[in-house]
Chains A and B, each alone.
Chain A
């Protein structure tokens, strides 16, 4: 597909063509109890900017629930409601179903109202994955955004299944006997959901600020394509990853450029890399890892192991960075 064809494909989505064209009003506004430099706050700000004010939002329990809404105040300009930690997908289905029924029965005016849920990695990828899966099986227009800061950051940094191998959390502290306590490799949520849900036309991964506008345009595409959709964002977290808040953008970029976090979208089953870490020369993972206090206990062998797993993902997987299946083509021959 040429660039023109791709733009044509999402013509109704009003994609941003350059940063100066981004809408100026905010629908998630100043005055939230997020950390200095919080990337997830940008994930909030940008999805609602891309979606616009005719939107209803639920936020599952997690950092972006507790941080954002400190009672009697709110930074949300659009209607927003809390949902339970594992309630992300089902809350979106509930709202979408309610609105559709009320419109069909003439109880409220017919219009296109975006329905968006955001859940963290613990809510969306662990506890709530059943509900997200159910949501992606429906025919409602809805978007679930899993903002992934790679830990249960709201309870002061515990490991989830999205925590990268080796990272320190309070559930996986380094110790005198076990240097590496977290021995699970990060769960591949977006690709798993894309593969398993025939009704879902759009799944993407994103990093809020890199490449610029990429995330906002993915939100616009997800909302315009119709049906249930899913976006997984990687959110550098100065608190849990232990780095100076100034460098959130830097770390997001490095996660992508090292190939640690693959950036792609899967549109009606077609994979499109939005940053092709297989084709481009990848930055060594060490440059990303050593900038974070959570990996400050790493030794050479740990960096090597990490690099090897990332190389494998890009060089040996049948669908690089997405599907960890090897040798399918060989078998066919």
Chain B
């Protein structure tokens, strides 16, 4: 069979979809049993689309409009506990409103999948993207993966369920995407057939942990110091096991859908011979990859790594990919005020992973694109120039922040470029 014939077999159509629409398609295809909604921009589109599926009879699931994000995620958690595949999602402060339920979902080891449409946290109220919302659960036992294209959003949702529900893992999974950019811009997306998805994603089976009268168990009794540490130790093990499970899931996804994810954890763009590499997550990757293409034409040996899986953090793989470069930069669409070196979250994680590398190239950080501000190709080129002289640069560099007022240069409303 030719690849084209295979693709015809596994995809039913190609449609113009936003990132949130693409996730809705995946949720429908995954035959999710229960989803709970509460409105907050920019993730809400996924729920709008799912509600319409229900109204049109295209999707069979229990659909609950909750009274807030805390309830939304409590509903998902408890639906998951009785053996139902569950979906929820949120953005920004809404995601934080659910934090208690999010923490318990992780420690209950229930594989709920959530869409986080990244949004700046209040105050001030802002709709634009920042990664801090999703990152705030980074230590709690959630799998967190960033999608940066609509196709990737659909694929990653299916892969996310498969990894989360694997008996070796059983952890909740957050699929994150940049609010305003991926959540709202529309791209052509290939939509798999239900049959093909069925081959990839087995039915959700919680085994002897399923809460049902035929399986009488008590879940999450109170513990004292005799137990808590051992339970944390179990969860740590599961998070480590997730790495292997992710690899296997992508292998099988590849064999069915030929989707082109050679490395599940991150995409390496022109890095094999690169001296200078920048790492980023999310939609900034489009500008970054374009910048690399342009600079390569001029002979600059630059490369870009688009990180997908933020938890589990692919330390070993990143060490391998990054330590061969001579200079490194990290783009943080987040902030970590008062943290190590006053740098962003991603920079801190990458620096920490690199500490164990045999060769440790100098690395600097770029705080960019906060509260939805754009990051342009020129911005990334400027970043590469700075990274090339990382030894002389500041550790943390704010990009495109107004260092001067725009008086005298009216018309440039979004502020001046960084130098």
The interface residues of chain B lying within 8 Å CB-to-CB of A74 are 218, 221
Chain B residue with minimal CB distance to A27?
B216
Chain A residue with minimal CB distance to B220?
A82
Interface of B is mostly: mixed
The interface residues of chain A lying within 8 Å CB-to-CB of B61 are 101
Q: Are the C-beta atoms of B84 and A101 separated by less than 8 Å?
A: yes
A293 within 8 A of B: no
A87 and B76 alpha carbons, distance in the complex (Å): 11
Choose from B70, B71, B227 the contact partner of A71 (Cβ within 8 Å).
B227
> How distant is A35 from chain B, measured CB to nearest CB, in Å?
15
Q: Given the interface contacts A53-B213, A56-B211, does A84 sit within 8 Å of B218 by beta carbon? A: no
Chain A residue with minimal CB distance to B84?
A98
Q: Are the C-beta atoms of A80 and B218 separated by less than 8 Å?
A: yes
Chain B residue with minimal CB distance to A86?
B70
Q: Are the C-beta atoms of B222 and A66 separated by less than 8 Å?
A: yes
A87 and B103 alpha carbons, distance in the complex (Å): 13
The interface residues of chain A lying within 8 Å CB-to-CB of B68 are 130-131
The interface residues of chain A lying within 8 Å CB-to-CB of B212 are 56, 79, 108, 113
Q: Are the C-beta atoms of A90 and B70 separated by less than 8 Å?
A: yes
A78 and B215 alpha carbons, distance in the complex (Å): 9
The interface residues of chain B lying within 8 Å CB-to-CB of A138 are 64
B391 within 8 A of A: no
A86 and B73 alpha carbons, distance in the complex (Å): 12
> How distant is A62 from chain B, measured CB to nearest CB, in Å?
11
A69 within 8 A of B: yes
> Quick one: which of A73, A89, A104, A134 has the most chain B CB within 10 A?
A134
A113 and B83 alpha carbons, distance in the complex (Å): 14
A78 and B214 alpha carbons, distance in the complex (Å): 9
B224 within 8 A of A: yes
A122 and B386 alpha carbons, distance in the complex (Å): 56
B101 within 8 A of A: yes
How big is the B interface, by class? 35 or more
Chain A, residues 63-103, CB within 8 Å of chain B (1/0): the string is 00110111111101111111110110111111101111110
The interface residues of chain A lying within 8 Å CB-to-CB of B76 are 94
The interface residues of chain A lying within 8 Å CB-to-CB of B55 are none
> How distant is B50 from chain A, measured CB to nearest CB, in Å?
14
Q: Are the C-beta atoms of B78 and A98 separated by less than 8 Å?
A: yes
Chain A residue with minimal CB distance to B60?
A105
Chain B, residues 108-124, CB within 8 Å of chain A (1/0): the string is 00000000000000000
Chain B residue with minimal CB distance to A105?
B60
Q: Given the interface contacts A94-B77, A108-B83, does A130 sit within 8 Å of B71 by beta carbon? A: yes
Chain B, residues 46-80, CB within 8 Å of chain A (1/0): the string is 00000000000000111010111011101111111
A102 and B66 alpha carbons, distance in the complex (Å): 20
Chain A residue with minimal CB distance to B101?
A84
A6 and B215 alpha carbons, distance in the complex (Å): 36
Q: Are the C-beta atoms of A97 and B34 separated by less than 8 Å?
A: yes
Choose from A92, A93, A98 the contact partner of B83 (Cβ within 8 Å).
A98
Q: Are the C-beta atoms of A70 and B71 separated by less than 8 Å?
A: no
Chain B residue with minimal CB distance to A58?
B78
B191 within 8 A of A: no
> How distant is B27 from chain A, measured CB to nearest CB, in Å?
13
Q: Given the interface contacts A69-B221, A78-B213, A82-B219, does A91 sit within 8 Å of B74 by beta carbon? A: yes
The interface residues of chain B lying within 8 Å CB-to-CB of A79 are 211-213, 215-218
Q: Are the C-beta atoms of B222 and A71 separated by less than 8 Å?
A: yes
Q: Are the C-beta atoms of A101 and B71 separated by less than 8 Å?
A: no
The interface residues of chain A lying within 8 Å CB-to-CB of B203 are 107
Chain A residue with minimal CB distance to B81?
A81
Chain A residue with minimal CB distance to B100?
A84
B223 within 8 A of A: yes
The interface residues of chain B lying within 8 Å CB-to-CB of A34 are none
A92 and B34 alpha carbons, distance in the complex (Å): 13
> How distant is A304 from chain B, measured CB to nearest CB, in Å?
41
Q: Are the C-beta atoms of B218 and A97 separated by less than 8 Å?
A: no
Q: Are the C-beta atoms of B75 and A94 separated by less than 8 Å?
A: yes
A54 within 8 A of B: yes
Chain A residue with minimal CB distance to B62?
A97
Chain A residue with minimal CB distance to B228?
A71
Q: Are the C-beta atoms of B78 and A94 separated by less than 8 Å?
A: yes
Q: Are the C-beta atoms of B33 and A90 separated by less than 8 Å?
A: no
The interface residues of chain A lying within 8 Å CB-to-CB of B101 are 84, 87
A133 and B71 alpha carbons, distance in the complex (Å): 11
Choose from B75, B80, B82, B216 the contact partner of A78 (Cβ within 8 Å).
B216
A76 and B84 alpha carbons, distance in the complex (Å): 23
> How distant is B268 from chain A, measured CB to nearest CB, in Å?
40
B104 within 8 A of A: yes
Q: Are the C-beta atoms of B84 and A97 separated by less than 8 Å?
A: yes
B86 within 8 A of A: yes
Q: Are the C-beta atoms of A95 and B213 separated by less than 8 Å?
A: no
> Which of B271-314 touch A at CB < 8 Å?
none
A91 and B218 alpha carbons, distance in the complex (Å): 15
> Which of B3-31 touch A at CB < 8 Å?
31
Choose from B67, B211, B221, B223 the contact partner of A134 (Cβ within 8 Å).
B67
A78 and B217 alpha carbons, distance in the complex (Å): 7
> Which of B204-256 touch A at CB < 8 Å?
211-213, 215-224, 226-227
Choose from B71, B82, B220, B223 the contact partner of A102 (Cβ within 8 Å).
B82
Choose from B34, B213, B222 the contact partner of A113 (Cβ within 8 Å).
B213
A292 within 8 A of B: no
Choose from A65, A77, A104 the contact partner of B222 (Cβ within 8 Å).
A65
Chain B residue with minimal CB distance to A100?
B62
- Chain B residues with a Cβ under 8 A of chain A: 31, 33-34, 36, 60-62, 64, 66-68, 70-72, 74-84, 86, 100-101, 104, 203, 211-213, 215-224, 226-227
- Chain A residues with a Cβ under 8 A of chain B: 53-56, 58, 65-66, 68-74, 76-84, 86-87, 89-95, 97-102, 104-105, 107-108, 113, 130-131, 133-134, 138
A/B interface sample: 7 pairs, CB < 8 A: A73-B221, A82-B104, A82-B219, A84-B70, A94-B36, A95-B82, A130-B68
A72-B221, A105-B33 known, 19 other contacts, Cβ within 8 Å: A56-B212, A70-B222, A71-B222, A72-B227, A73-B221, A74-B218, A80-B217, A80-B218, A81-B220, A87-B70, A90-B78, A91-B77, A93-B75, A94-B86, A95-B78, A97-B62, A101-B34, A130-B68, A138-B64
